[in-house]
Structure 1
Amino acid sequence: MNNKAVILGSNYYIGLSIIRCLGENGVYTVAVDYSKKETYGAKSKYLNEQLIAPHYKENPEGLLKFLIDFAKDEQLKPVLYPGADQYVEFMDAYLDRLSEYYLIPMTEQGLWTKVMNKESLHELAVKHGVLVPETTRPTDKDFYERMEKEIKYPCIVKPTDSASFVAKFRKKIFLVNNKEELDKALSLSKDAKLDVIVQRIIPGFDDHMYTFDAHMNQESEVTHWMTCHKLRQYPINFGASVYTEQKYVQELYDIGAPFFKAIKYKGFGEIEFKKDAETKKYYLIEINTRTTNLNSLLYKAGINFPYVAYRDMIGDPLEPKAVKEDTGLAFRYLQEDLLAIRGYIKKNQLTTGSVIKSLSRKKAPAIWSLNDPKPAFNYFGIVVGKVFRKLFR
């Protein structure tokens, strides 16, 4: 295995998890960042090189040239991994040129962007018979009529481009309870030049969220898969996983695998579902196109998705595998889980007793690893530094 693995972004635990999953299997790993600041993932003992390149947004052409120049010096094509949604967007924009020099599972330029975009994903789901929350757009002629009769309040104002929305508002959605709040949310989005849609909220608490994590080969067949069950997220109610257990749910495969096949998806993908508390049906919420936040859990539960992709790309695929049992493992992002717990208890959505009971599961930490502790110590130093500066600002 002489093909190097190039990971875009080591300043978040997703990049760190990719580095560990590959490095533990003897793959030569290279992290590409736009700055060394807060790149705690690069402190992993499994990283061989860290390179500083132009910023993906400020100078995308410069980053493209940097990556091409790097690959030209290699005898074998490196395998390229995005460590964040912004890098997925960059890779999709230049997929035709990058594919000349890198091994990338996705071959259809634009498909990543299409499934990341909430509006076009909604259209794909409807086309292929997958349930999605009822949705309307501010530009629809019957917008307010549909709001009253179909969507109703409370509802969510959701961006079509999540990364840009989160960067602007530091939240994933606007929760609105009436027409006045709706108009304010739409106005804020319009002022920020961000497109949004409005969706019905599927009944059910945060523990009604599930994921279907899978790798599709070059024929878009699922070769490896696992399902997970969210227990807590942050921000609470509409946020990212901070405490999630691996849990086998066959129905998620039965919905997700045919959908991935139908849209000709390749490589890793994670579908987030919400189970309707009233009808018990699963609704597609979104798709993550890069290695997921839960990667440390997926790995400990039995499937090393970054390595699966690596072996697939170099033409030496691993044997298919599915985890069809409950392992008792849970992913935990400690810092944000503590914030989530505080929020749930404050709003009387969880009790202290139920939280304590949930912590009995074996953990798959987001950052900490006894075999590779330096990233966690470095991350702790970063957090302490931020707190110190905030206190004495």
Structure 2
Amino acid sequence: MNKAVILGTNYYIGLSIIRCLGREKIHTIAIDYTQKDTYGSKSKYLNEHIEAPNFKTEKEAYLDKLIEIAKNESEKPVLYPSADPYAEFIDENLDILKKYYLIPMVKKGLWTEVMKKESLIKLAQQNNVLVPETVDIDDPNFKEKVVEMIGFPCIVKPTDSPKFVNEFRKKIFYCTNIKELEDSIEKARNKQIEVFVQRIIPGFDDHMYTFDFYVDKQGKVTHWTTCRKLRQFPINFGASVYTEQKYVKELADIGIPFIEKIGYRGFGEIEFKKDEKTGKFYLIEINTRTTNLNNLLYKSGLNFPYIQYKDMVNDNLSPKVIDYDTGYVFRYFFEDKLAIRDYIKNGQLTRLDVFKSLFRKKAPAIWSISDPMPAFNYLYILFNKAIKKIIK
């Protein structure tokens, strides 16, 4: 049996990968550069937990450790990144890592190309996929184009999201006038982060959709479904905290030709926003690693980590599409509570709206009655943080 190596268990994405594989009796190995807050490693489905050097500050040592782990196995393990920085690391070292691990991607640099917003926009435009109107901050007619093409409010977005989020703890800068726009650009420049200005596609957060898919070794999309966000945090420009599986065929009609044409492999998720005025779907971003909706996808009938595993070890892979509404919703309880507070505070949702939304079949981010220890450990981590805040 080929084992599965999961990079990162300090967030529920790594936990969901471990559970999806462990339930199928796959031997799982988690690798972390710190033992702090790694609540995903408390899962009963994890077989081994290994500490490695910090991949951000000790790249070569981390790479050596990954190679050492794989060399100790009789068969190549299947490798899974649980966060964007891990996906970037694999992409950067793809030629070396493919000698020791089974990785679906065959084109070095493609994961990074679709993760970075500027290069993704170019790829989408070359393939006639709609993206929000964008202005480069170095354009000689920058201010005029912003006023004419985009207008206010608008957003300042990074080309490298992980770096931006790590620095500012938000995904974008929201600007209502030229002064706020200039100040936001200056903040990014001071941190040496490349940004651009983009039009906000009109529509509430429930106009955000995802197309979740798997591309096999032959380059064909074999498995897919679609979802719709209902709430996110931070509100309006954040990550999913309450999302439903919702079948929308048009997303596949846009996504499948695009993904297959650019030579993508493995799991991916395209995020779209539907313009409430025109009904058109605009590509917002692509996630190249397992996403926070993974448990929702699993509950809906698509075990994407296991699908990748079977594809990589040359096991039979029968295509499957969830082309109906299952009724399941993903919920990240802790951040959804914060989102609900802010939606109500800003008048975007009422208490009745929220109350009515809660009576759905849930796919929790962390809690599992058959595997409760990660949730208990997560609560312990939150409790410790609260105590430290009180003392401070």
The aligned residue for residue 382 of structure 1 is 381
2:254 aligned with 1:255: yes
The aligned residue for residue 192 of structure 1 is 191
Q: CA separation in 2, counterparts of 1:274 and 1:244?
A: 14
- Distance apart, 1:160 and its partner CA: 0.4
Q: CA separation in 2, counterparts of 1:53 and 1:317?
A: 34
Q: CA separation in 2, counterparts of 1:148 and 1:290?
A: 36
| SS of aligned partner of 1:16 | helix
- Distance apart, 1:179 and its partner CA: 0.3
The aligned residue for residue 80 of structure 2 is 81
The aligned residue for residue 41 of structure 1 is 40
| SS of aligned partner of 1:254 | helix
Report the AA paired with residue 360 of structure 1. Answer: F
Is the 1:42–1:50 contact (alpha carbons within 8 Å) kept by the matching residues of 2?
Answer: yes
The aligned residue for residue 58 of structure 2 is 59
2:124 aligned with 1:125: yes
The aligned residue for residue 243 of structure 2 is 244
The aligned residue for residue 321 of structure 1 is 320
The aligned residue for residue 181 of structure 1 is 180
Q: CA separation in 2, counterparts of 1:299 and 1:288?
A: 17
Q: CA separation in 2, counterparts of 1:87 and 1:269?
A: 15
The aligned residue for residue 138 of structure 2 is 139
The aligned residue for residue 391 of structure 2 is 392
Q: CA separation in 1, counterparts of 2:251 and 2:360?
A: 23
| SS of aligned partner of 2:65 | helix
Report the AA paired with residue 357 of structure 2. Answer: S
- Distance apart, 1:145 and its partner CA: 1.3
The aligned residue for residue 200 of structure 2 is 201
- Distance apart, 1:317 and its partner CA: 3.4
The aligned residue for residue 223 of structure 1 is 222
The aligned residue for residue 19 of structure 1 is 18
The aligned residue for residue 10 of structure 1 is 9
Report the AA paired with residue 336 of structure 1. Answer: E
Report the AA paired with residue 323 of structure 1. Answer: I
> TM-score under structure 2 normalisation?
0.99
| SS of aligned partner of 2:264 | coil
> TM-score under structure 1 normalisation?
0.99
- Distance apart, 1:218 and its partner CA: 1.6
Is the 1:157–1:175 contact (alpha carbons within 8 Å) kept by the matching residues of 2?
Answer: yes
- Distance apart, 1:392 and its partner CA: 1.0
- Distance apart, 1:143 and its partner CA: 1.2
Q: CA separation in 2, counterparts of 1:360 and 1:73?
A: 48
Report the AA paired with residue 320 of structure 1. Answer: P
The aligned residue for residue 98 of structure 1 is 97
Is the 1:308–1:317 contact (alpha carbons within 8 Å) kept by the matching residues of 2?
Answer: no
- Distance apart, 1:142 and its partner CA: 1.8
Report the AA paired with residue 234 of structure 1. Answer: F
Q: CA separation in 1, counterparts of 2:296 and 2:17?
A: 12
Is the 1:299–1:305 contact (alpha carbons within 8 Å) kept by the matching residues of 2?
Answer: yes
2:153 aligned with 1:154: yes
Alignment of 1:289-308 (within 5 A): 289-308=288-307
> Residues 178-212 of structure 1, C-alpha deviation per residue, up to 9 Å, x if partnerless?
00000000000000000001100000000000000
Q: CA separation in 1, counterparts of 2:277 and 2:167?
A: 34
| SS of aligned partner of 1:156 | strand
Q: CA separation in 2, counterparts of 1:265 and 1:387?
A: 43
- Distance apart, 1:231 and its partner CA: 0.1
| SS of aligned partner of 1:215 | strand
| SS of aligned partner of 1:354 | helix
Q: CA separation in 2, counterparts of 1:207 and 1:354?
A: 13
Report the AA paired with residue 353 of structure 1. Answer: L
The aligned residue for residue 274 of structure 2 is 275
- Distance apart, 1:385 and its partner CA: 0.6
> Residues 82-130 of structure 1, C-alpha deviation per residue, up to 9 Å, x if partnerless?
0100100110110000000000000111000000000000000000000
> Residues 322-343 of structure 1, C-alpha deviation per residue, up to 9 Å, x if partnerless?
0011011000000000000000
**Between the two proteins, what is the percent identity of the paired residues?**
61
| SS of aligned partner of 2:211 | strand
Q: CA separation in 1, counterparts of 2:315 and 2:141?
A: 53
Report the AA paired with residue 187 of structure 1. Answer: E
Q: Structure 1: where are the runs of 5+ without partners?
A: none
Report the AA paired with residue 84 of structure 1. Answer: A
- Distance apart, 1:219 and its partner CA: 2.3
2:106 aligned with 1:107: yes
Q: CA separation in 1, counterparts of 2:25 and 2:140?
A: 57
Q: Structure 2: where are the runs of 5+ without partners?
A: none
Is the 1:226–1:323 contact (alpha carbons within 8 Å) kept by the matching residues of 2?
Answer: yes
| SS of aligned partner of 1:180 | helix
Q: CA separation in 1, counterparts of 2:69 and 2:234?
A: 39
List structure 1 segments (4+ residues) > 4 angstroms apart after TM superposition.
none
The aligned residue for residue 169 of structure 1 is 168
Q: CA separation in 2, counterparts of 1:349 and 1:135?
A: 27
Q: CA separation in 1, counterparts of 2:245 and 2:14?
A: 21
